[in-house]
Amino acid sequence: MKYKISIIIATYNADKYIQRAITSVLNQCLENYECIVVDGMSTDKTLSIIESYIQENSHIRLISEKDNGIFDAYNKGWKAAKGEWIYYLGADDVLLSNGLNDLLEEANGYDIIYGNHIDQLEKKQYHPKSKSYRIVKHLMFCCHQALIIKRDVIKSLGGFNINYLLCADFDLIQRAYLSGYKFKQISCDVCVFSLAGVSNKSLYGTDKEVRRISINNGCYKYISLVQMYYLIRKTVKYLLLKFHII
Q: Answer yes or no: are the C-beta atoms of 80 and 36 closer than 8 Å.
A: yes
Is residue 244 classed exposed, middle or buried when 0-12, 13-18 and 19+ CB atoms within 10 A define those classes? exposed
- What are the pLDDT digits (tens) for 99-114? 999 999 999 999 999 9
- What are the pLDDT digits (tens) for 112-164? 999 998 876 555 555 555 555 566 766 677 889 999 999 999 999 999 999 99
For the chain, what are the domain ranges? 3-196
User: For the chain, first and last CA: distance in Å?
Assistant: 49
User: How far is residue 186's CA from residue 190's CA, in Å, rounded to a whole number?
Assistant: 10
User: How far is residue 212's CA from residue 145's CA, in Å, rounded to a whole number?
Assistant: 23
Whole-model pTM: value is 0.86
Topology of domain 3-196, CATH: Spore Coat Polysaccharide Biosynthesis Protein SpsA; Chain A (3.90.550)
A 10 A CB-CB count for 226 gives: 13
Cross-strand pairs, 68: none
Say which amino acid occupies 158. Answer: G
